[in-house]
Structure 1
Amino acid sequence: MRSLRKGLSLASLLTGVATLGAVLVAAPAAHAADTPLRDLAAAQGKVIGTAVTGSKLTGTYGDIAGSQFSSLTPGNAMKWGSVEPTRGGFDWTEADQIVAFAQAHDQQVRGHTLVWHNQNPSWLTNGSWTSAQLGSLLQNHISTEVGRYKGKIAAWDVVNEPFNEDGTYRSTLWYDGLGADYIADALTWAHAADPAAKLYINDYNVEGVNAKSTALYNLVKSLKQQGVPIDGVGLQAHLILGQVPSTLRENIQRFADLGVDVAITELDIRMALPADSTKLAQQAADFTSVVAACAAVTRCVNVTVWGFTDSDSWVPGTFPGYGAATPYDENYSPKPAYYGIAEALGGSTTPPPTNGACTAAYSVTSQWNTAFTGQVKITCSGASLSSWKVSWTYGAGQQITQAWNATCTQSGSAVSCANASYNGSVADGGSVTFGFNASWSGSNPVPTVTLS
């Protein structure tokens, strides 16, 4: 459903690259489960997936996406506005990239999404169409996209978010222009384009038994009775900390009893920031609860998280003050939520040691001629520090000339920085930053940072 975070400036990207290089080696103590999530899920007869941004499928992001998950959902790349921004002008670049990555890593792809009221191209939404024209446009879009990826997509979210909270049909370009039959037509056209793909209707706030999920239930029941090709329902599961519906398993089972598959398609669990050990523990319990509910029902076939890392989450940009909604933190370290998923899938894990919850991130904040300013940020989540020391070794002759908020010494290429008298304590959920000036010549590569 939702957009993954995007749109960074070049400067912030460069700083982010520098930071990432330090963080990934600064926090080696946060280990993934003993067995990858995808293998744990397979042992349960399930698929575990994640939404991804195609341009990020390299380095550590790509390594995690490829090794931990058995299914990928394009966060934005297959939406109408992305693939046909101008009428008849198609851009399949990112969608093709994700499909190719999935094939290379023996993963399924979940196509997302064919018919939605959001993220449509302006030429479509601003047009003046008769019902016949609108139907023709929709049929052509579905036939073109599904046909392009015939045999490469395991399941499609064909129709996305057709209902209001009270169970009435949402007023959209499609419903207003074509009536409720647009749903059956879309499914029929998608099936014609790829008879092997599983076809879903997907919506949010339908995880528990309520008016909206009952409307979806009645729709699916009716479509089945009419012989319309409908294979499953997607429960998005954009949830709030501590608010997993008590009727989730019951709801999954009643859809399964209709003879369709069920998928948790966009799972994330947001919390009020900052995160702390109590919230992270509750989040882990919530992830465990959701995945366990799916694991308990044979026809619940897939759990997909909506982005596996907090750095790629839509939540902070949509819900100010909320975030930390995914199983990995912004530094690609697995959070307690990750272990909650593993537990629900029957896995045994090696939890990270206490210090693993504190990380140090090195970044270059400005650089000129032969000098630069840098900083190191120490952040704790699920742990705390009473004192700290950060060390690294420069690889290109850089020399620190001044430091603040820390006592720094350098011997040859080795640098060691310890807390000042006033900032040794870092509380759970807190952070401390110190800075320095240094000289460089020729190159200024990011060093490996160790926090102790």
Structure 2
Amino acid sequence: MTLAPAPPYRSRHRSIRRGLTAALITAATVLLPVTAAGAAPTGTAVAAASPTLNELAAAKGRYFASATDNPELTDTSYTATLGSEFGQITPGNSMKWDTTEPQRGQFSFAKGDAVVSFAQAHGQDVRGHTLVWHSQLPGWVSALPASEVRAAMESHIAGEAGHYKGRIKAWDVVNEPFNDDGTYRTSPFYNAMGKDYIAYALQAAHAADPGAKLYINDYNTDGLGAKSDAMYNLVRDLKAQGVPIDGVGFQAHLAVQYGFPTQMQQNLQRFADLGVDVAVTELDVRMVLPADATKLAAQSDYYRRVTEACLGVSRCVGITIWDYTDKYSWVPGTFSGQGLACLWDANLQPKPVLDVVRTALGATGSGDTTAPSVPAGLTVTGTSSSSVSLSWTASTDSVGVTGYDIFRGGTQVGSSTGTSFTNSGLSASTSYSFTVRAKDAAGNVSAQSSPVTGATTAGSGGGGSLKVQYKNNDSAAGDNQIKPGLQLVNTGSGAVALSSVKIRYWFSGEAGSSNYSAWCDYAVVGCGSLSQSVSSSGSSTAGADHYLEVGFSSGSLAAGASSGEMQLRFAKSDWSNFSEADDYSRGTNTSFADAPKIGVYVNGTLVWGAAP
């Protein structure tokens, strides 16, 4: 797809972006001494050896690909690797609707043609991206009456897929149809046709380009969960109805600060069992800067595990990285303070993580058969009525430790890329025995550590203190949606039960409908755990006659912890415009900052912020 989970969310907008700050380029250079399987000695750049990534993948019956974009095609140093290392390329933006049909019925294919011409000149296939997506739509599409949307969609598909007929290996026909909780994402297409728009789009694409493979593509579906369940049910139903669908794309935009997707290989396999191909379509693994050995080791581990998951499923046809170099990565421009997500650095030099991928694809020569040292100093650092927190001393390895597996009573209960872990969901007043083992990128594991016993407490305790931070996810103050980014922070000494917490964001409803719809487009805690509703505030304060209230269904927030980002969005039922400039809670900051005009309530009592 592209790069965005939320329709109008630039913070998740997956276009490939040019340029890195000097600080980021410096950080990329510091990366080179990474500890990963097959890495060169400290301070030494790692040269990509023959065979290429695509040749290694082809030996396993797969392809290995990269996304690209038109501005990059003028960079001859960049295109030298793009044209030789990969068997397929995906245009990041040049085949999207706003580029190919900016005015109704007036098509422009010059940018897409340039990408296709480059691929043909280098013997590469092209993945078409994307025909129907809620984002990067020209304004005229959203302005259409519902009765005209299907015809416009089918005309667009016929025009674009017809233009490229026979030159596209596979199309991302429908991009990102689901919210994180598994509900269908609202868009001009869903609003006009319901979920049937997906079948209509696939049928139109097949009619226009019958030789191309047709895919649905989405993010946060890489592992088992509500969103991947929704995708599975959709694909199953489409197959049963005889709708032409050949595959499902799993974007795999990962981050080392979040867990690896749950049972990724098993998830890919269940889709393959429906009789469709699967593909990893937009892989990158970002981190919060600055980089350190732990983050880099986790990144290597994530890349290895994705590669092995694809190789473990016979119908996984290949892997696409979302541009191969940090120089043109979309991450720094989208996730503030994050980056270094790619296999090559900003100077177009291969990073040690590249050798990890090559080894996972079957390259020989790493020769690492030495297990890491056994973790020492395993200690209980904290307990609650439902959790035990652990820490230990880092292991050493001849190449580099990539992480640790944690066991409770002999059963693995989690993994960590650092030297600490909290096991939650335990029973109160109960003793548990824990051990830890280390692992490296080559798959070697240490013996388990000496055990340690931790006992949960009798009660949950208190001491929690909350604040909310905000960032503006939409610079347009006069459009038809409001899109705050929020995160909850516990500054106290004890955990807080999230089910007791509500957050209120005050705004002015202006003219138009008094009925609202609200959505979560992305949340670290999972959109399925959030509730959103809009109510009249009864306040006479300017810019505060309504509020968005956000609640949590379950869970707790540990002392010193943050909920992580929650990307929220709401609109009036008639989609009329707001005038946000004077809204009580709105700010213009695009990085998270404390928000004293957004309220946090615990059991109905205001504990943070000033209500209007």
TM-score by length of 1: 0.71
Specify whether residues 142 and 349 from structure 1 end up closer, same or farther in structure 2 by C-alpha distance, changes over 3 A only.
farther
Tell me the equivalent position of 2:375. Answer: none
Is this contact kept in 2: 1:252–1:297, CA < 8 A?
A: yes
Tell me the equivalent position of 1:93. Answer: 110
1:308 to 324, 340, 348: 324
Matched, 1:192 2:207: yes
Give runs of aligned pairs for residues 162-177 of structure 1, distance below 5 A. Answer: 162-177=177-192
**Cα deviation, residue 278, structure 1:** 2.9
Q: Distance in 2 between matches of 1:254 and 1:248?
A: 10
Tell me the equivalent position of 1:348. Answer: 364
Paired residue secondary structure (1:303): strand
1:267 to 265, 277, 283: 283
Give runs of aligned pairs for residues 88-237 of structure 1, distance below 5 A. Answer: 88-125=105-142, 127-131=143-147, 133-237=148-252
Tell me the equivalent position of 1:330. Answer: 346
Tell me the equivalent position of 2:91. Answer: 74
Paired residue secondary structure (1:245): coil
Q: Distance in 1 between matches of 2:15 and 2:186?
A: 25
Is this contact kept in 2: 1:47–1:71, CA < 8 A?
A: yes
- Corresponding letter in the other structure for 1:310: D
Q: Distance in 1 between matches of 2:343 and 2:292?
A: 14
Tell me the equivalent position of 2:300. Answer: 284
Paired residue secondary structure (2:261): coil
Moved segments of 4+, more than 6 Å: none
Paired residue secondary structure (1:201): strand
**Cα deviation, residue 75, structure 1:** 0.3
Paired residue secondary structure (1:253): helix
Specify whether residues 177 and 349 from structure 1 end up closer, same or farther in structure 2 by C-alpha distance, changes over 3 A only.
farther
Tell me the equivalent position of 1:62. Answer: 79
Residue deviations 1:80-116 (CA, integer Å, cap 9, x gap) = 0011222233221221111011111111100001110
- Corresponding letter in the other structure for 1:98: V
**Cα deviation, residue 135, structure 1:** 0.7
Q: Distance in 2 between matches of 1:285 and 1:270?
A: 12
Is this contact kept in 2: 1:202–1:233, CA < 8 A?
A: yes
Tell me the equivalent position of 1:369. Answer: none
Give runs of aligned pairs for residues 368-407 of structure 1, distance below 5 A. Answer: none
Q: Larger relative contact order (C-alpha < 8 A, sep ≥ 6)?
A: 1
Residue deviations 1:25-50 (CA, integer Å, cap 9, x gap) = xx994301331101001000001111
Aligned length: 337
Is this contact kept in 2: 1:34–1:348, CA < 8 A?
A: no
Residue deviations 1:229-270 (CA, integer Å, cap 9, x gap) = 000001110111162223100001000000000000011111
Higher helix share: 1
Residue deviations 1:40-87 (CA, integer Å, cap 9, x gap) = 010000011111012322411101111111110000000000112222
Which is worse superposed, 83-92 or 265-274? 83-92
Specify whether residues 116 and 44 from structure 1 end up closer, same or farther in structure 2 by C-alpha distance, changes over 3 A only.
same
Residue deviations 1:340-387 (CA, integer Å, cap 9, x gap) = 221111013679xxxxxxxxxxxxxxxxxxxxxxxxxxxxxx9xxxxx
Q: Distance in 1 between matches of 2:107 and 2:44?
A: 42
Specify whether residues 6 and 211 from structure 1 end up closer, same or farther in structure 2 by C-alpha distance, changes over 3 A only.
closer
Paired residue secondary structure (2:50): coil
Q: Distance in 1 between matches of 2:262 and 2:183?
A: 23
- Corresponding letter in the other structure for 2:279: A
- Corresponding letter in the other structure for 2:248: V
Is this contact kept in 2: 1:33–1:349, CA < 8 A?
A: no
Q: Distance in 1 between matches of 2:17 and 2:250?
A: 24
Paired residue secondary structure (2:128): strand
Paired residue secondary structure (1:111): strand
**Cα deviation, residue 5, structure 1:** 4.1
Q: Distance in 1 between matches of 2:302 and 2:326?
A: 17
Paired residue secondary structure (2:168): coil
Is this contact kept in 2: 1:47–1:70, CA < 8 A?
A: yes
Q: Distance in 2 between matches of 1:349 and 1:246?
A: 31
- Corresponding letter in the other structure for 1:197: A
Residue deviations 1:122-172 (CA, integer Å, cap 9, x gap) = 2222x23232x1111000000111011111100000001111111111111
Specify whether residues 68 and 8 from structure 1 end up closer, same or farther in structure 2 by C-alpha distance, changes over 3 A only.
closer
- Corresponding letter in the other structure for 1:4: S
Is this contact kept in 1: 2:17–2:333, CA < 8 A?
A: no
Paired residue secondary structure (1:219): helix
Tell me the equivalent position of 1:4. Answer: 15
Q: Distance in 1 between matches of 2:195 and 2:338?
A: 35
Is this contact kept in 1: 2:107–2:159, CA < 8 A?
A: no
Tell me the equivalent position of 1:250. Answer: 266
Q: Distance in 2 between matches of 1:110 and 1:183?
A: 19
Is this contact kept in 1: 2:181–2:227, CA < 8 A?
A: yes
Tell me the equivalent position of 2:586. Answer: none
Specify whether residues 350 and 52 from structure 1 end up closer, same or farther in structure 2 by C-alpha distance, changes over 3 A only.
farther
Q: Distance in 2 between matches of 1:86 and 1:8?
A: 30
Tell me the equivalent position of 1:386. Answer: none
Q: Distance in 1 between matches of 2:18 and 2:285?
A: 23
**Cα deviation, residue 181, structure 1:** 0.6
Q: Distance in 2 between matches of 1:323 and 1:257?
A: 35
**Cα deviation, residue 324, structure 1:** 0.6
Q: Distance in 1 between matches of 2:266 and 2:76?
A: 40
Specify whether residues 229 and 30 from structure 1 end up closer, same or farther in structure 2 by C-alpha distance, changes over 3 A only.
same
1:296 to 312, 320, 340: 312
Q: Distance in 1 between matches of 2:140 and 2:126?
A: 28
Q: Distance in 1 between matches of 2:255 and 2:157?
A: 33
- Corresponding letter in the other structure for 1:143: A
Q: Distance in 1 between matches of 2:58 and 2:79?
A: 20
Percent identity reads 53
- Unpaired segments ≥5 residues, structure 1: 17-26, 352-381, 383-452
Paired residue secondary structure (2:319): strand
- Unpaired segments ≥5 residues, structure 2: 4-13, 26-42, 368-399, 401-612
Q: Distance in 2 between matches of 1:181 and 1:87?
A: 22
